[in-house]
Structure 1
Amino acid sequence: MQVLADYLNEIDVHADSVYVMHEKVERKFSMHSHEKGQLTYVEGGIAYCNMPDRSYVIPARHYIWIPKYQEHYMQIKHSKSTTTRNLYFYSQHDHETPFYTRLGIYPVNELLLEMINYSARWQRHILPGDPGFRFLSAIKDILPDISTTALPVILPTTQHERLQPVLQYIGQNFDQQLTLEIVSHQFDLSPRTLSRLFTNILDMSFVQYLQMVRVVKGIEMILQTNQTLSEIAYQTGYSSIAAFSKVFYQLTNKRPSSFQQAVH
């Protein structure tokens, strides 16, 4: 634990540096924040960035930008080989550019991928004047221009004692024929009460939450299995690939076939 604490403390020691960390350490931190803005790129597999009230899904070939002071912790699902490349940037002037003040998940194009991979030659603090500082700064500088469409795959979470077990149940049975009536009966609630819990606590409907869970599970299957999209559609609770594709597009602005091609 002391080693992890040392890493966390070191990141913010030099406010004007770029801190480079390619070890599998960020995923071991508990909930924390930095005084620097953070770029984390997911290399293979799938990662989750957990906030106090929601979880962001980060697929392969995507990165997440985490603004300074945002509490979070990273979680890698089902893949020991998944690597996260982490760059922590000086943040003195972030307020002048709205991009740096907003959390977002974005696809990585070939230019940014090459630059992130090239950054692996450095470790820890790179200060102004050090070899590599201008290159690393260029990565930060191009992000607002090349990252214009965020991937809106967000799963809200809650500690609410009545709603939390419902979310767990949905997460375990997303492939079943779930309706508001079926789930509310399972927990001895009226459909109206359960509907209000979703709206008041998560700010979304039961159906919206179920769709989000199914799309997240679909993304996991696309990344981690060789199943066809038809198989994935049925295994996420849809009766046809057309129904799955429609919901997938509504939530991600991408067809599952296009997404599959982009990440493989």
Structure 2
Amino acid sequence: MKCGLTEKAESQFVDTIEKEAYVWREKNWKHDDYEHIHHRAQLSFVEDGYQYFHIDQKIYLVPQYHVIWVPSGKAHKITSEAQTVNLTVFLFKSVFEDEFYQNVQVFAVPAVLKEMLLYASKWNKSLIENEEQDIFFKAILKSLPNFCKESHSLEIPVPTDNRLIPVCQDINSNFKYNMDIDSLAEKAQMSVRSLQRIFKNETGITLQKYHQLTRILKSIELIDTQQYTLSEVAYKVGYQSLSAFTSSYFTVMKTKPKLIKN
């Protein structure tokens, strides 16, 4: 059983719970290494650590104090190299009809929503009918679109064109260094101009943006280890100064990098 759902077969979860919505809070979250699907909409709040959600040829980063909304029936796989991942997961049987609820959303948790999510944890794993809980959870659900401001900044696209896979692999392996666009074009067996055009069409972002996202994701992983100063992290992911790293980090994360306190 995971999050109250019974796994009848690998990747297939059966929902036998009558409640409209409930919460499942768990420390030291253990990740499965395969894609799975269930028929409840899911709101996951990362209290500590970070997670990657692999959904529809995209990888979504969900760092500490962020949430991800996953619609019902959407296949997904979750991975993380974080030392510890503490999660609070809300599962909803039905949702409102707004377009927001039909798509994957990732966004930082504002103070008000954070307090609401933490307060709701008092009903952790409770499957008993509770009127206050039902009203409170519906209020959270209804307010989500208003809390979501920028839901795509942490989305890492995965191209379907096989010619671009070596390009992504090269960037992921050599993110510390400046991109050699000519070398990448050679790997894709196309001209530089064609590579830039096709990559943008396939992923929705430029090669330069992909490179930047990769660096920032790696920095989040390094910060999570609590082994390095921010200046050391900046150097390890390819920035020549802390100020350049901070600026790039802020562009992606909408907040400045900071070390994690125990």
- TM-score tier, shorter chain, comes to 0.7 to 0.9
Q: 2:59 aligns with which of 51, 55, 59?
A: 55
Q: Measure, in 2, the Cα distance between the counterparts of 1:53 and 1:193.
A: 22
Aligned to 1:18: 21
Report the 3-state secondary structure (helix = DSSP H, G, I; strand = E; otherwise coil) of the residue aligned with 1:69.
Answer: coil
Give the letter for the 1:47 counterpart: Q
Q: 1:5 aligns with which of 3, 8, 32?
A: 8
How far has the Cα of 1:249 moved from its partner? 3.0
Alpha-carbon deviations, 1:171-192, whole Å to 9, x = none?
1210123221233345665433
Q: 1:98 to 1:185 in 2, by over 3 A?
A: closer
2:78 is the alignment partner of 1:74: yes
Q: 1:208 to 1:46 in 2, by over 3 A?
A: same
Q: After superposition, where does 1:82-97 map in structure 2 within 5 Å?
A: 82-92=85-95, 94-95=96-97, 97=98
Is the Cα–Cα contact under 8 Å of residues 36 and 90 in structure 1 kept in the other structure?
A: yes
2:240 is the alignment partner of 1:239: yes
Is the Cα–Cα contact under 8 Å of residues 53 and 59 in structure 2 kept in the other structure?
A: yes
Q: Measure, in 2, the Cα distance between the counterparts of 1:204 and 1:138.
A: 35
Q: Measure, in 2, the Cα distance between the counterparts of 1:32 and 1:182.
A: 37
Aligned length: 255
Aligned to 2:158: 157
Q: Measure, in 2, the Cα distance between the counterparts of 1:241 and 1:29.
A: 35
How far has the Cα of 1:45 moved from its partner? 1.2
Q: Measure, in 1, the Cα distance between the counterparts of 2:89 and 2:177.
A: 38
How far has the Cα of 1:55 moved from its partner? 0.5
Q: 1:30 aligns with which of 21, 29, 34?
A: 34
Query: Is there any run of 5+ residues in structure 2 with no aligned partner, and where?
Result: none
Measured on the aligned residues, the alpha-carbon RMSD in Å equals 3.3
2:177 is the alignment partner of 1:173: no
Report the 3-state secondary structure (helix = DSSP H, G, I; strand = E; otherwise coil) of the residue aligned with 1:38.
Answer: strand
Aligned to 2:125: 123
2:204 is the alignment partner of 1:200: no
Alpha-carbon deviations, 1:38-94, whole Å to 9, x = none?
110112111011112111100011111122333322222232x212221111324x2
Q: Measure, in 1, the Cα distance between the counterparts of 2:194 and 2:149.
A: 39
Query: Is there any run of 5+ residues in structure 1 with no aligned partner, and where?
Result: none
Q: After superposition, where does 1:100-139 map in structure 2 within 5 Å?
A: 100-118=101-119, 119-123=121-125, 125=127, 127=129, 129=130, 132-139=133-140
Alpha-carbon deviations, 1:216-256, whole Å to 9, x = none?
212222333353333222221222233323333333333x3
Give the letter for the 1:28 counterpart: D
User: Identity over aligned residues, as a percent?
Assistant: 27
Aligned to 2:50: 46
Report the 3-state secondary structure (helix = DSSP H, G, I; strand = E; otherwise coil) of the residue aligned with 1:49.
Answer: strand
Give the letter for the 1:83 counterpart: N
Normalising by structure 2, we get a TM-score of: 0.79
- More helix per residue: 1
Q: Measure, in 2, the Cα distance between the counterparts of 1:30 and 1:117.
A: 29
Q: After superposition, where does 1:205-220 map in structure 2 within 5 Å?
A: 205-220=206-221
Q: Measure, in 2, the Cα distance between the counterparts of 1:41 and 1:11.
A: 21
Q: Measure, in 1, the Cα distance between the counterparts of 2:142 and 2:242.
A: 40
Alpha-carbon deviations, 1:122-179, whole Å to 9, x = none?
326455x567333333332333344444461111113533222321221121012322
Give the letter for the 1:58 counterpart: V
Looking at both structures, which has the greater relative contact order when contacts are Cα pairs under 8 Å and sequence separation is at least 6?
1
Normalising by structure 1, we get a TM-score of: 0.79
